[in-house]
Chains A and B, each alone.
Chain A
Amino acid sequence: MLKTRVTEMFGIEYPIIAGPMAYISGAELVSAVSNAGGLGILVSVTHPTPQALREEIKKTKSLTDKPFAVNVTLLPTLHPVNYEEYFAAAIEEGIKIIETSGRSPEPYMKLLKDAGAKVVHRAARIRDIKTAERVGADAVTILGYEAAGVPGMEDVTSLVRIPIAADSVKVPVIAAGGIADARGLVAALALGAEGVLMGTRFLASKECPVHPKIKEWMTELAETDTVLIQRSLSNPSRVVRTDFTQKILDMEEKGATLEELAPLISGQNRQGAYVTGDISDSTISAGQIVGLIHNVPSVKELIDGIISEAKVIMQRLQNTGLGN
């Protein structure tokens, strides 16, 4: 059921992928997603050294024998990162699926392909996924405006993006942004995607390692409770609207520089908030779909629920004659 080129290529049961979330997507969550038939993606460059990434991969392998992926985010950071070492660590540990984002994976493509890895590139513009396909990506993920994380400057929504993406590349398209249940999954497939990537939905799961207060908070938020910050830096980020994020928006309005904003938007703040549950001095990412999230299930309950509900939807289409 629900076999697509994405499930075939990655050797997974369901076309459901857990988006890599900094400080969250470690061995526990990633193995839970892969064990439940989806694809977990381990974050890498938030590990201080490639050796630390190796340890996390080993730990994940001890928790699952199913495929999982490693993400390498190719974005400028305050401290320069030697990406090649992170890619090498992943490959040497036997990882066969690499997700890249932030910049074209071209410089590393030969290294990855020679090692027999499948490369999936995630971007927020059609021209970026076309470039990724041209330089050898095996699949692409397209982000919609409603997504958490970095949905790009073009503001195009998933409903419009997905079919245009599917028409723009021959490799399979994975949809990200605005999906948290079976309706979203089946709709994305109808629009031309062959898999979905969800972040916010997995944030509110039992295996997600953030403080329970933050997960509870996610179940209470409405779809109107998110906002884009960092637009003035040409790097918009969708976060939950709070007094703290309002402070950032006010500073941006007054023309604050990256140096002035950096202490407020740094990843370290967020890492701390995830541990303590105190969100008073940190931004927390969430997509608009947070309005549809009302519980904190285990990853297995979540994925099983989506799949059985997807079957119900498709049966209903058939019973009502819409699918004839």
Chain B
Amino acid sequence: MKTRITELFGIKHPIMLAGMSWITEPKIVSAVSNAGGLGILATGPLSPDETRKQIKQIRELTDKPFGVNQPLSSPISKANIDVIIEEKVPIVNYALGRPWFIDQVHEYGGKVIGTIAMVRHAVRAEQLGCDVLSVTGHEAAAHGADTTTMVLIPLVASAVKLPLLAAGGFFDGRGLAAAIVLGADAISMGTRFTLTKESIVHQKAKELMLKGGAEDTLYSDRFDGMPGRVLKAKGAEDMMNKKGIPLFGGIAAAMQVRKLLKMSWGDLISSAITMRKGEGGRNVFQQLRFAGGSVGQQRAIYDGDTDVGFIFSGQAQGGMNDLPTVAEVIERIVKEAEEALAMGAAKAQGAAKK
């Protein structure tokens, strides 16, 4: 399947791995790229040194194009972006903030994907010089707004000229065919790739996601400070029901995040008190939720503990019931989408003869 996105990125199939903190590490990133899709390393939870190390690891595992995802709301986003540019990563996907580095990426021939969930943000990202937009619907794991993929894709496709990656609610070839019909040029999937053999997520968490129906998710800004969707389980429900701001837990978690990101105390404090402006703006309470969320996610991802921790999961989880390899996922989705589109084209041919 050739689309504007496969051409632009030099990939075989119009399928991207959504960057997911801790989950999209070098192995699964290279597996997706080797299978003809676009693997994306999540650098949000990585220190600059770790970012560089993992980029190098990916290059040892694949010679195919790959990308990184960096949320610009993170206190170390500037340092990470510097590393990403030094390493000349082919595709840079940013979210939650205003990019300052688009020209630098273009200089070495890289491409920039902006992540948006609202039409006006799409228009702004186009003006800023993005090459591609990733458009996130309400059904996505993180971080969708209220508008669903069926509604948002045609609206954004009408509002901008850029090629679009549709994100949120995709798990099979019917979805890829629908995305292309709605005006997208590729799809981005997170939950589907989380539920693969290569994914490092704990088996217990994978099984719970497989068992969950499309209705078994929770959508709230209580998990990491931004509206997101997680698997419905005890830990997540407790977070939903807690009143007030998770002050003490949040501060304790912020200490852990500081250690993880190798931030100085000054950086931590200044990031916590900054009331950031723009799309990526997060106030101090959201920052605390973010810190608490980081710890909770790792418990679910690494230990399979969803009684205390939580895991982001899209409504697409309701459409899945197996743990295939990354290559199997990509092959069957492409095959199924080609069949669905061929059927449509055949009908058009019949109609044209009429």
A292-324 interface with B by 8 A CB criterion:
292, 311, 313-315, 317-318, 320-324
B-facing mask of A167-182, CB < 8 A → 1, else 0? 1000000000111010
- Distance (whole angstroms) from the CB of A308 to the closest CB of chain B: 10
Asked if residues A163 and B348 are in contact (CB atoms below 8 Å), the reply is: no
Given that A315-B352, A322-B180 are known contacts, is A189 also in contact with B2, CB under 8 Å in the complex?
no
Asked if residues A155 and B219 are in contact (CB atoms below 8 Å), the reply is: yes
Q: How far is the CA of A18 from the CA of B148 in the complex (A)?
A: 21
Asked if residues B344 and A323 are in contact (CB atoms below 8 Å), the reply is: yes
Determine the interface band of chain B, counting residues with CB < 8 A from chain A: 35 or more
Asked if residues A159 and B318 are in contact (CB atoms below 8 Å), the reply is: no
Q: Which residues of the other chain, A, contact B87 by a CB distance below 8 angstroms?
A: none
Given that A156-B315, A311-B351 are known contacts, is A184 also in contact with B344, CB under 8 Å in the complex?
no
Q: Which residues of the other chain, B, contact A184 by a CB distance below 8 angstroms?
A: 150, 154, 182
Q: Which residues of the other chain, A, contact B178 by a CB distance below 8 angstroms?
A: 159, 187-188, 190-191
Stretch from B15-23, B169-177, B254-262 at the A interface:
B169-177
Asked if residues B349 and A164 are in contact (CB atoms below 8 Å), the reply is: no
Q: How far is the CA of A28 from the CA of B149 in the complex (A)?
A: 33
- Distance (whole angstroms) from the CB of A219 to the closest CB of chain B: 14
Asked if residues A164 and B318 are in contact (CB atoms below 8 Å), the reply is: yes
Cβ of A183 within 8 Å of any chain B Cβ, yes or no, is: yes
Cβ of A186 within 8 Å of any chain B Cβ, yes or no, is: yes
- Chain B residues touching A, majority SS: helix
Q: How far is the CA of A31 from the CA of B342 in the complex (A)?
A: 34
- Distance (whole angstroms) from the CB of B192 to the closest CB of chain A: 12
Cβ of B139 within 8 Å of any chain A Cβ, yes or no, is: yes
Asked if residues B152 and A223 are in contact (CB atoms below 8 Å), the reply is: yes
Checking A181, A188, A318 against B154 with a beta-carbon cut-off of 8 angstroms, the contacting residue is: A181
- Distance (whole angstroms) from the CB of A186 to the closest CB of chain B: 5
Asked if residues B148 and A146 are in contact (CB atoms below 8 Å), the reply is: yes
Cβ of B137 within 8 Å of any chain A Cβ, yes or no, is: yes
Query: Which of A1, A125, A126, A314 has most B Cβ within 10 Å?
Result: A314
B105-159 interface with A by 8 A CB criterion:
118-119, 137-139, 145-152, 154-155, 158
Q: How far is the CA of A157 from the CA of B147 in the complex (A)?
A: 10
Given that A163-B174, A322-B180 are known contacts, is A157 also in contact with B2, CB under 8 Å in the complex?
no
Checking A177, A192, A317 against B345 with a beta-carbon cut-off of 8 angstroms, the contacting residue is: A317
Asked if residues A146 and B219 are in contact (CB atoms below 8 Å), the reply is: no
Cβ of A201 within 8 Å of any chain B Cβ, yes or no, is: no
A168-221 interface with B by 8 A CB criterion:
177-179, 181, 183-184, 186-192
Asked if residues A145 and B2 are in contact (CB atoms below 8 Å), the reply is: no
Given that A191-B174, A314-B345 are known contacts, is A291 also in contact with B181, CB under 8 Å in the complex?
no
A-facing mask of B279-310, CB < 8 A → 1, else 0? 00000000000000000000000000000000
Query: Which of A144, A163, A323 has most B Cβ within 10 Å?
Result: A323
- Chain A residues touching B, majority SS: helix
Asked if residues A223 and B139 are in contact (CB atoms below 8 Å), the reply is: no
Determine the interface band of chain A, counting residues with CB < 8 A from chain B: 35 or more
Q: Which residues of the other chain, A, contact B29 by a CB distance below 8 angstroms?
A: none
- Distance (whole angstroms) from the CB of B117 to the closest CB of chain A: 10
Q: How far is the CA of A160 from the CA of B168 in the complex (A)?
A: 9
Asked if residues A178 and B151 are in contact (CB atoms below 8 Å), the reply is: yes
Q: Which residues of the other chain, B, contact A181 by a CB distance below 8 angstroms?
A: 154
Asked if residues B345 and A324 are in contact (CB atoms below 8 Å), the reply is: yes
B198-229 interface with A by 8 A CB criterion:
213-215, 219
Q: Which residues of the other chain, A, contact B350 by a CB distance below 8 angstroms?
A: 1
Q: Which residue of B lies closest to A177 (CB)?
A: B150
Q: Which residue of B lies closest to A3 (CB)?
A: B347
Q: Which residues of the other chain, A, contact B118 by a CB distance below 8 angstroms?
A: 224
Asked if residues A159 and B137 are in contact (CB atoms below 8 Å), the reply is: yes
Residues of B within 8 A of A (CB): 1-3, 118-119, 137-139, 145-152, 154-155, 158, 168-172, 174-175, 177-183, 213-215, 219, 315-316, 318-319, 338, 340-342, 344-352, 354
Q: A164-B319, A183-B181 are in contact. List 13 more A-B contacts (CB 8 A).
A: A2-B351, A146-B138, A146-B148, A155-B219, A158-B148, A159-B178, A160-B315, A160-B318, A187-B150, A192-B174, A291-B155, A314-B344, A317-B344
Residues of A within 8 A of B (CB): 1-2, 125-126, 144-146, 154-161, 163-164, 167, 177-179, 181, 183-184, 186-192, 222-224, 288-289, 291-292, 311, 313-315, 317-318, 320-324
Closest 10 CB pairs of A and B: A323-B345, A314-B348, A178-B150, A1-B351, A318-B345, A154-B215, A187-B178, A159-B169, A190-B177, A157-B148
